[in-house]
Chain A
Amino acid sequence: MLQLNEILMLSSGMFVLGLIGFLTRKNMILMFLAVELMLAAVAINFVAFGSRLGLQQGQLFAVLILTVASCEAAIGLALVVAMYKRKSTLDISQWDSLHEVEPPKLAESGEVEDDNIHDYPTLAPAGLAPNAQSTVKGGSRAANEKA
């Protein structure tokens, strides 16, 4: 049989493994698994103390931790699936700058630029030779697009 302090040492080792896994892995799913590992390590602590004191409440706490962990897994995986549909990668570093899709650009004066100024590039219509004016315009538009 293991003594209480030995079980505590083992569970802290498990917790640290989960911590290292969470900090080093870049795959979002494996990061979630590392968090689950940390939760399981904490549940071991509850059970060990409850068993040492002869109380059932430790096991009850561990059951609740199990419940919360499965809730977290469900919601976390749903989020991962939603994020994977967006960028089709599981890389966490792709999501380090969560901002709006197209933040409103600031003009020189600091005013928010009017939406209608945005000029999207258009192709010259087929069948007609584009005149000089439209090619110049198209060039400037291409430059805008690059910027």
Chain B
Amino acid sequence: MIYLFAALLTLFGIGFITFKQPVYSALSFTAIVLVACVLFVLSNSPFLAAATMVVYAGATIIVFLFVLMFAQRSKLQSYDVNLNRPILTCFVGGGLLGLLISGIRSMNIAPTEELASSKVADLGKLMYSDYLWTVELAGLLLLVATIAAIVIAQETKSDSMAKFEELVKTRAEGRAPNGSNS
């Protein structure tokens, strides 16, 4: 079963890295997230699988696709076609993966005994009793991030840039009569 997941991850991962169209890359990212959701289900956490599917494969990827469409050009861009040092990076990534897997293999983990599948209600009780402040803090973080995103995306040019352009304009207007005098 691990080979099935590994094959899926490798397939979509290679697609994610090498597709020239950014939209296809984003779609293979969605496929990888779905594989991760299956892993969540296999780890006895169905709530998290659903949440990840909604948040990642639903909201996040849609927003990313909106921005991709917003910045879409008719022709393929050179920065989408060319990769940044792919061979060196693959060696680095492969080395890291080998290191991680050898470390995991040398770990002495007893085979998992069957656990009673956890209920969503237990997670909810934990979240809203023991970890209430953590959840509130996360909500506050989301609020702040929303405000920040609105403010950042609204500001098209920084004040200094606008000031600089105004300065150039006023000077060009001020210099023109001087040039006619000389």
Knowing A12-B104, A20-B17, A29-B64, say if A63 contacts B48 (CB, 8 Å): yes
Cα distance A47–B157 in the bound complex, in angstroms: 43
Secondary structure of the A contact surface, majority rule = helix
Interface centre among B1, B39, B155 (most CB of A within 10 A): B39
Q: Which chain A residues lie closer than 8 Å to B36 at the CB level?
A: 14, 40-41, 43-44
| Cβ contact within 8 Å between A17 and B79 | no
Which residue of A has the minimal Cβ distance to B95? Answer: A16
Knowing A20-B17, A81-B153, say if A75 contacts B48 (CB, 8 Å): no
Q: Which chain B residues lie closer than 8 Å to A43 at the CB level?
A: 36, 48, 52
A41 → B minimal CB distance (Å): 8
Complex partner residue of B67 from A23, A69, A77, CB under 8 angstroms:
A77
A-B contacts counted at CB < 8 A amount to: 270
B74 on the A face (CB < 8 A): no
Knowing A29-B22, A62-B48, A70-B55, say if A51 contacts B82 (CB, 8 Å): no
B170 → A minimal CB distance (Å): 11
> What is the interface residue range for chain A against chain B?
35 or more
Knowing A7-B43, A26-B83, A125-B180, say if A16 contacts B52 (CB, 8 Å): no
Which residue of B has the minimal Cβ distance to A57? Answer: B126
A111 on the B face (CB < 8 A): no
B131 → A minimal CB distance (Å): 6
Cα distance A146–B22 in the bound complex, in angstroms: 38
Which residue of B has the minimal Cβ distance to A125? Answer: B180
| Cβ contact within 8 Å between B152 and A20 | no
| Cβ contact within 8 Å between A79 and B2 | no
Contact flags B144-182 to A (C-beta < 8 A → 1, else 0): 111011101101110011001000100110011011101
Q: Which chain A residues lie closer than 8 Å to B149 at the CB level?
A: 74-75, 77-78
Q: Which chain B residues lie closer than 8 Å to A52 at the CB level?
A: 109, 112
Complex partner residue of A19 from B44, B68, B96, B152, CB under 8 angstroms:
B96
Q: Which chain A residues lie closer than 8 Å to B60 at the CB level?
A: 36, 69-70, 73
- Chain B residues within CB distance 8 Å of chain A: 1-2, 5-6, 9-10, 13, 16-17, 22, 25-26, 29, 32-33, 36, 39-40, 42-45, 47-48, 51-52, 55-56, 59-60, 63-64, 67-68, 70-71, 77-80, 82-86, 89-90, 92-94, 96-97, 100-101, 104-105, 107, 109, 111-112, 115, 118, 122-123, 126-127, 131, 134, 138, 141-142, 144-146, 148-150, 152-153, 155-157, 160-161, 164, 168, 171-172, 175-176, 178-180, 182
13 A–B contact pairs at CB < 8 A?
Answer: A8-B104, A9-B104, A13-B9, A26-B82, A26-B83, A33-B64, A47-B40, A56-B126, A63-B127, A73-B64, A75-B148, A82-B152, A123-B179
